[in-house]
Amino acid sequence: MKRLLLAVLFGFSLSACAQPAATPQKVTPATDAATPKEPSFAAGTPEARVREALARINPKIKVESISPAPIPGFREVIATGQVVYVSDDGKYLFQGGLLDIEKRKDMGEVAMAKVRKQVLATLPESDRIVFAPAGVTKHTVVVLTDVECGYCRKFHSDIAQYNKLGIRVEYLAFPRAGLASPDYQKMVAVWCAPDRKKALTDAKSDRPVAQGQCANTPVDREYRAGLRMGLEGTPMILSTDGQQLGGYMPPDALLQRLDALDKEKSAG
C-alpha cells in the first residue's frame, strides 16, 4: 500500500505497509545531502501560506520544496519523499495521482523522479555494490535492497541472469527495520566487508558475514536517501534518471521495461 503523507500530517496509522515498523532510531548526525535543509519562504507568498498551513497540521513535517503546481491555484509540495498539492491560500490539500491526460503522465511521479535523480547524484558509485555484465551494458538500474526481505533475495538469486541480459545492477542499502536494528548491523557488516559482493550474496543466503565497523559507512546515508526518494518497500528499482520501475521484476520483464523506457525517451 502506498505510504500516505496524510498519515504523517494527521497522525493516523495505516493498516498495511510494505515496510515493517522501524525500531527506535539511534541519534546520528544527518548532515549529508540525503537530508537537505528546509528552504525558507518570503512572508506573504503562496509558498509561505502553504508552509504555515502544513505547520498548523503538524509542525514536525519536513518540507523539501514548494513550487507552482501544474494546476492553477495550487502549490506542489515535496515532503517526506512524497508529493501533495495545497491551495495557494492554504485551505485545501489533496494527495493522489495528478494525471496529465494529454501526455499520459503522473505529474507527482515526474516531480519525484527529479528528486530521486538529484539524490542519486549525491551517492558515489564507490559506496554502491555493483554487479556488472561481463559484456556490453545495455541498461543500468539502481536497487535499494535489504538483506532480509524475500523479494530482495529473489531478485539477487537471479543477478547472473540480469547481468546476462546486459543489465548492470547498482545496490544501495536500505535496512527496512531501521538504523538501530539487527538488520542494520548485518548491512553494515556487508558494506564494510573486503569483498562486498560476496558478503551481500552470503547475507542474502543466510550465511554469516563477519561483523566489522568501518569509517563513514554509507548505510546510514543510503537509508536516509531511500526515505527522501519515497521508498515504499524493498526492493525499489530505479532508472539512473530517478524513475521508479517498481519492486521485484523478473529479468525478462525488467529488460522489457527498460527497453520501453528508452523508446519513450527517444520519442520525446
Domain borders along the chain are 35-121, 125-267
Q: Is 125 left (phi over 0), alpha (psi -120 to 50) or beta?
A: alpha
> How many helices (H) and strands (E) in the chain?
9, 11
Whether the predicted pLDDT of 216 surpasses 80: no
* Catalytic residue flag (residue 220): no
* Catalytic residue flag (residue 214): no
Residues 199, 139: Cα–Cα separation, whole Å:
24
* Catalytic residue flag (residue 192): no
Identified catalytic residue from 3, 116, 127, 146: 146
Q: What is the mean pLDDT of residues 31-56?
A: 84
Identified catalytic residue from 176, 221, 228, 257: 176
Task: Provide the 3-class DSSP secondary structure of residue 190.
Answer: helix
Q: What is the mean pLDDT of residues 52-67?
A: 92
Instruction: For residue 18, give the nearest of 127, 122, 144 by alpha carbon.
Output: 144
CATH 3.40.50.970 at 35-121, yes or no? no
Identified catalytic residue from 116, 152, 221, 224: 152
Q: What percentage of the chain has pLDDT greater than the value 70?
A: 85
pLDDT classification of 19: cutoffs 50, 70, 90: low
Please state the pTM of the whole predicted model.
0.85
Read off φ and ψ for residue 69, nearest 5 degrees. -85, 165
Q: Report the chain's mean pLDDT, rounded to a whole number.
A: 87
The letter for the amino acid at 224 is: R
Q: What is the mean pLDDT of residues 193-205?
A: 96
pLDDT classification of 37: cutoffs 50, 70, 90: confident
Sheet containing 236-239: which strands, arranged edge to edge? 129-131, 167-173, 139-145, 236-239, 244-246
pLDDT of residue 33: 55
The letter for the amino acid at 167 is: I
Q: Are 254 and 61 in contact (CB under 8 A)?
A: no
Q: Is 206 left (phi over 0), alpha (psi -120 to 50) or beta?
A: left
Q: For domain 125-267, give the CATH number.
A: 3.40.30.10
Identified catalytic residue from 51, 149, 192, 228: 149
Please give the grid coordinates belonging to residue 234: 524493498
Start-to-end Cα distance in the chain: 31
Residues 265, 149: Cα–Cα separation, whole Å:
32
Most confident option among 91-95, 106-110, 139-143: 139-143
Residues 150, 23: Cα–Cα separation, whole Å:
20
